Structure 1
Amino acid sequence: MTAAEPKGLLAGGAVARWPLPAFDEGEVQGEAPAALRQGTLRLGLLSNANSGRNRRQLDRLEALAQRYPHVTHLPTGHGGEVREALAEFARREIDVLAINGGDGTVARVLGELLEHEPFSRRLPLALLSGGTANMTAGRLGVRGSLTRAARRLFDWSAGRHRGACEMLSRPILRVRFADGRDNAYGMFVGAGAVIQGTEYAHRKLHARGLRDNAGLAIAVARTLWGLSRGDCRFKRPVRLCLSLDGHAVLEEASASILLVSSLPRLFCGVRPFWGEGAGAVRTTVIGGDAEYLLRRLPRLLAGRPGTSLCAAEGFYSYTGHRLSLRLDGELNLDGELHRVRRCHGPVTVERGGDFTFLRL
C-alpha cells in the first residue's frame, strides 16, 4: 500500500460509512441486466479474509464451498491478491462473481473490474455480508447470515430456486484525484460532519458492537443533534469550491455537510437530493451558516425543499454528470477516508459504470 492509498483498505477494522447508501429500488438508467443461462452456473467467490465476520466464519464457508463442484472460493488478504483472484476467475470462465466482505471490499472489487476489465463481459454480482459494515450487501446482496446466504447462493447457482432472484442495475461513482493517486470507486462521497460522524461511530459505537443499521442510526442522529446545537465536535465547516459540468456553482463556500451519491436514496430511504437536471451525480450541501436544521430536517430528508431549503438559507442541491470539488480535508468514499488538498487540483466525481446485482 502506498502513502497515497486510503487507510484501512480491505482491513479488518473497517470505518463506518455515514450515511450509508440504502439503494433505491427504482429503475436506474444503464446497461441492461445480464442474461443468465439455464442449468448450473460457474460461481467465483472472492472473500476478504480480513473482514470482520470472515475472521470468524471463513473456515466454515470454505468447507461449505467444497461441497459444490461449480464453486471456486478464493480468499484474499490484501489488494494485490484481489487482482490475482479476479484473473484466476477469468481463466476459469465463471458466470457469476460473488464478493464476500464489507462495504470497502465491495467498492475495491468494483473498482478493479472497471479499471482492469479482467472479464470479457460485465458479470452479474452477488454480495455476501462478511464485513464489519455491510450496508451494500444488506440492500443489494444475498439475504441472511453469511453461511446461510452462501448456501442459498450456491444452491441457486446450481439451478435450484432460479426464479427467486431479482436483477438490479445500479451505477457506481468514479473519483479521480489530481495528485496522481489511483482512481477510487463507490456510491457515496461525503465531507464535513460526515467525517465527524464516521469518527464518532468508529470510536463510540463499533467498540460496543453496534454496527450496521443500529450503529448507523445512532451515529446519524448524534451528528445531526450536534450540528443543530453548534457542538464543535461535529460542527467543523470546511471551505470548498464546486463546479458541475464545467460551471461553477459554489465559490469558497462554507459547508457543514457535503453529500454526493449516484443514487437518489441514502440510508433508511432518505432522499436529501432535490436538484433538477440529468446525470448520475447528485450533490447536496448544507452551508456552515445554515440555521434551524432540526426544524427543516423533515423536508431535507424527504428531498422536498419548499421555500425553506434554498440557497439564501444555506441549502444547495444539484444534479449533473461531472462534479469538480476543491477542499482541504478528508473525503469519505464508502467508508474509506481520502485526504485531499486543493493545491493539488480538483477532485472529480463522475459516473464510472453500472453493475447488475443479484438479489436473493
Structure 2
Amino acid sequence: MNVTIKDVAQRAHVAPSTVSRVIADNPRISKETKERVFKAMEELGYYPNAIARSLASKMTYTIGLIMPRSAEDAFSNPFFPEVMRGISVVAHNEKYDLLISTSGNEEEEKQAVIDMVKGRRVDGIVLLCSRTTDELIPWLREEKFPFTVIGKPLDSKGVCWVDNDNIGASRLATNYLIKHGHREIAFISGSLEFVVSLDRLDGYKLALEENNIPFDKELVAQDEFSEDGGYNAMMRILKQKKPTAVVVTDDIMSFGVIRAAIDYGLKVPQDVSLIGFNNIPLSAYANPPLTTIDISTFDLGVKSAELLLKNIKNKDFVADHIIVPVKLIERKSCIKR
C-alpha cells in the first residue's frame, strides 16, 4: 500500500498542505513542525515524489555541470573527476543531484546550457573551464541565471568564479627551476583559448623577466591536454632547442613530455628537469616521480559548489570569487645544474 501525504499529515497532526510546505523547505514552517513531519515520513516510509517536490518549491534541486569536451576526453584527465568529486560532496550534503553535460564542440556546449536553463532542468550551473572567447558566460549573465565558473573569466564582472592564482603558481614553478640553476627553460601548456593557459604563460614570462632571462618563443609550445599532446609539444621544441628544464601545465601532458625526452635520447632528470601541474595521484608513481604544483583540485570543486548554492539560495547574492591556494610538491624529476 502506497503511503500518501495525507497519511503523513495524519501521523504528524498537521494539514496535508503543511507536509507539502515542509517538503518544499518553506522557511515559514517552524523547526519543530519540520522535525515532526520528517519523523512521520521516516516512520511511514514515505518518499516525496521528485516532480511534486519541484512543483511545490519551484526548484529542481539539481546542479548542471558543463564539461568542456566529450566524455571520452574529459574523463581521461583526472582533473575533471576530481573536481566533480568535490562538487558532488557538497551537492550530496545539500541534497542536490547533478546533471552532467558533455559535448563535442562549443556549439553543442552552448545548446546544452540553453536546454538546461530554458527547460528549467537545473537550479544553477557550474562551468568547468573558462575560455578566452566564451559565449556562455555573457549569455548566463544576461539571463541572470545562477552559475559559477571554475577558472577566472577574462571579463569577471558580475560572475562567480573559483580558481588558483595561476600567474603566481606558474611563477613559482619557473622560479623553482631557476633556483636549481636552469636558464634554458621550456614551457608547455594546453591551448591558449583557455584562460588558465594564458595566465600560466604570463607567470612563466614574469619569472624569466625577474631573473633577467630573455623570453624565447621557440621554447614555448601548446597542444591538447593529454599525454600525446605533451609528447607532440615536446618533440616540436626539441627539434629547435635543447632546454635543460620544462614547465608543463598539466601532469598528464608531463607523462608525454617524459616519453618524448626518452625517444629523443634524453634522460629525466639528468638531461632535462621537469615540473608539472595538478599533482594527480599517478604523478607520485611516474618514472621519475613527478615534482608538481598541487592546485587542490578537490577544493576547487567544493568551493565552486558552495558559491553556486549561496547564489541559488539568495536572490540578492553579490557575485564573488574564491582563490584556492597552491603548493609545490617536490619529488625526483628536477635536479640542480
Instruction: Judging by fraction of residues, say which structure has more helix.
Output: 2
Instruction: Judging by fraction of residues, say which structure has more strand.
Output: 1
- From the CA coordinates, give the structure whose radius of gyration is larger: 2
TM-score norm. by structure 1 comes to 0.28
TM-score norm. by structure 2 comes to 0.30
